[in-house]
Amino acid sequence: MLHAKIIDASKEKIDILKAEKFLSSSNFGAIIYFVGTVRDINENKKVTGITYDSRDTMVIKSFDEIYKESETKLKIKDKAVFIEHVKGYVDVEEKSIIIGIGCRHRDEAYNLSRFIIEEIKKRTPIWKKEHYTNDESEWLKGVSIQL
């Protein structure tokens, strides 16, 4: 079971309660969350926020592929995965991504969470433009679109 969504940061925020509701099941003995936030320093530059951009349909497709791949690579059958990532401007300390995992056992949940975030970072086309205290900004190296 997968929930995958891009959140328009100008209209809503990531809400952990939605993940809790989606993952609620007596089948799961372990429910964990990974929440990524915008940090204030990157490569010795003072960050004020990040603008995230993406091709939404490609991102959702990537999330779905990662979810399906986890079945063959990790052999975890009974699971639920909740993924939401923002698009748009996000201030320091605000949430940029949430990954919620429900599994029968904690080891499965931790392994699945790690697999999903690492695969998202490696291959999902989400780009970041950092904004700095000196009013400068720059696009960071991101994932190329695979056609």
Domain count, the chain: 1
Structure tokens at 128: 């970041």
Tell me, yes or no, whether 116 lies in a domain. yes
Distances (CA, A) of 133 to 38, 90, 130, 145: 14, 15, 10, 30
Q: How far is CA 37 from the centre of its chain?
A: 10
- Whether 145 is covered by a domain: the verdict is no
- The pTM of the full predicted model, rounded to 2 decimals, is 0.91
The confidence score (pLDDT) of residue 140 equals 84
Under 8 Å between Cβ of 27 and 109: no
Q: Could you report the per-residue pLDDT of 122-139, keeping only the tens digit for each?
A: 999 999 999 999 988 889
On the question of pLDDT at 101 being above 60, the answer is yes
Per-residue pLDDT tens digits for 3-16:
999 999 999 999 99
Please indicate, yes or no, if residue 143 is contained in any of the structural domains: no
Give pLDDT tens digits for 54-75: 989 999 999 999 999 999 999 9
Task: Tell me the per-residue pLDDT of 32-44, one tens digit each, with 9 for 90 and over.
Answer: 999 999 999 988 9
Helix (H) or strand (E) holding 72: helix 56-74
Per the domain annotation, does 13 fall within a domain? Answer: yes
Instruction: Share the mean pLDDT of the chain.
Output: 92
147 falls within a domain: no
Domain span at residue 41 reads 2-138
133: tokens are 């205290």
Does 20 have pLDDT greater than 70?
A: yes
